[in-house]
Amino acid sequence: MIQVSEYLKMGYRGIVFLHKLDWVETADIKCIHTRQELVCFNRNGTPLRVTVHWRKNSRLNGKGLKQKIEMEEMITQADYETYLMQYGAEDDALFYQAVARKEHERREAERKILEMTPNCPICGNQMIFKYRSHEGVAYWICVVSSKGKCNGSCFIPDETSKKYRQLLEIANQI
């Protein structure tokens, strides 16, 4: 299903999905089609009934996800509320709550990373996490080692390395 965020990028709010149709087209290339009918508000707060045709091209040089608005008509506020009661909303508040939760997780991961990062035992500067994937070896190296001022380093146990890499993945999201 097309994510609510795609509709938010288009400027729609208060999204209520009414109908969805999926099909696959395989001629020279594989195209996945989705036609969704929804009611929502535009940027000006006008209630609308919209039909959007989404197409995802599987060709390597394809442009990815494309959309075409097939129909966009104004409806009354009462009609919107009727649809809302009948189908429920894919409320963008849920989308923003998910974004806020992800941001909180990212900040928490950054905090834990700072707590786990030691200072150099030789000069006292902060150390940098390094991982040699071809050897599967993780180690700390002094931040000023690249300037030739310090050669402080130490290996990291596998459990700590794994946890640190997981935190880095979370911290580098969004």
77, containing H or E segment: helix 77-87
Q: Are 13 and 92 in contact (CB under 8 A)?
A: yes
Strand 47-57 versus strand 65-74 pairing type: antiparallel
What would the pLDDT profile of 124-164 be if each residue is shown by its tens digit?
A: 998 998 888 788 889 999 988 777 788 888 889 888 889 99
Mean pLDDT of all residues belonging to the chain: 84
Dihedral sign (CA 163, 106, 141, 150): negative
Q: List domains and CATH numbers for the chain.
A: 4-90 (3.10.450), 105-171 (no CATH)
Separation CA 37–CA 143 (nearest Å): 55
Judge whether residue 171 has pLDDT over 90: no
Q: What is the pLDDT of residue 63?
A: 61
